[in-house]
Amino acid sequence: MKTERTEAIVLHTLAVRERDKMVVFLTPEHGKRKGWAYGARAIRSRFGAALEPLAKVRIGYTERESEEVVRIESVDLIRSLFPAQQNLLSSVAATYIAELVDTFAHPNDPAELIYRLLDRTTEALLDGATPFAVVAYAEIWMLKLAGIFPSLRTCIGCDGPMERPLRFDAKLEGFACANCASGSAFVIPNDVARALDAILRAPVHEFTASKEVLFEIRSLAGGLRRNFLGHELKSFEVLAGVSE
């Protein structure tokens, strides 16, 4: 039996039986893991509020070589999402980002960059950043880290340098130059292209954009994501409903 102790962020939990929880959490070194937290639902649980979604914790667990689900032994809270949860839009945005990461992170695969993305975006929501700016940032970077978001610098058709305005070609699943783009390709407005550049260059707390630009970025990200997954995230409609 091996014992691990690492920093982690809780993605979601599932109530099991009368007293226990199944916890899905993300670690930098070991990627996404699942663990039993026995007694976590008890009134006087030794885990307290440390196993709430998007809590940043120091977690200790044991695992057997033949089992995928670990046993959680200890959890120390580093940072709670509670302050951001007092704002409905920030709370739903956080839930959406957690599902986004849960969908793309791989079990038992080192995920330092994904972990850093989740950590920084959660921190930005806690600091009062505009929720949809944080969501758009997370969507683009998650697609980038998953190898799905196409290059903004080179044409997907001829590999030549891209010029503005950008053209996105759904048939080629990438940005194409004027010579390679098909008739169905659409032009990306320059302010949206600049915002995409900013997302890929700047930390999340420095990223801002108008509602119109954020809508265009999220539409582009949503199309790429749905095309890859074949479905939409469960919390997508919830987030859309809160924003109306």
- Burial string for 1-27 (b: 16+ CB within 10 Å, else e) reads eeebeebbbbbebeeeeeebbbbbbbb
Q: 56, 9 in Cβ contact below 8 A?
A: yes
- Burial string for 131-144 (b: 16+ CB within 10 Å, else e) reads bbbbbbbbbbbbbb
pLDDT at 195: 97
> Identity (one letter) of the amino acid at 52?
E
- Taking residues 3-11, what's their average pLDDT? 94
**H or E element: which one contains 226?**
helix 211-229
pLDDT at 244: 57
Among candidates 127, 132, 144, which has minimal Cα distance to 209? 132
Show the 3-state SS of 140-153.
HHHHHHCCCCCCCC
In this prediction, residue 45 has a pLDDT band, given cuts at 50, 70 and 90, of confident
Left if phi > 0, otherwise alpha if psi is -120 to 50, otherwise beta: which for 146?
alpha
Q: Strand, coil or helix: what is 29? A: coil
Among candidates 15, 230, 232, which has minimal Cα distance to 139? 232
pLDDT at 229: 96
In this prediction, residue 49 has a pLDDT band, given cuts at 50, 70 and 90, of confident
Q: Is the pLDDT of residue 174 over 90?
A: yes
pTM of the model: 0.93
Q: Which residue has the higher pLDDT, 57 or 18?
A: 57
Among candidates 176, 84, 187, 179, which has minimal Cα distance to 128? 84
Q: 104, 142 in Cβ contact below 8 A?
A: yes
- Rounded distance between C-alpha atoms, residue 33 and residue 41, angstroms: 20
Alpha-carbon dihedral of residues 98, 101, 107, 108, nearest 10 degrees? -100
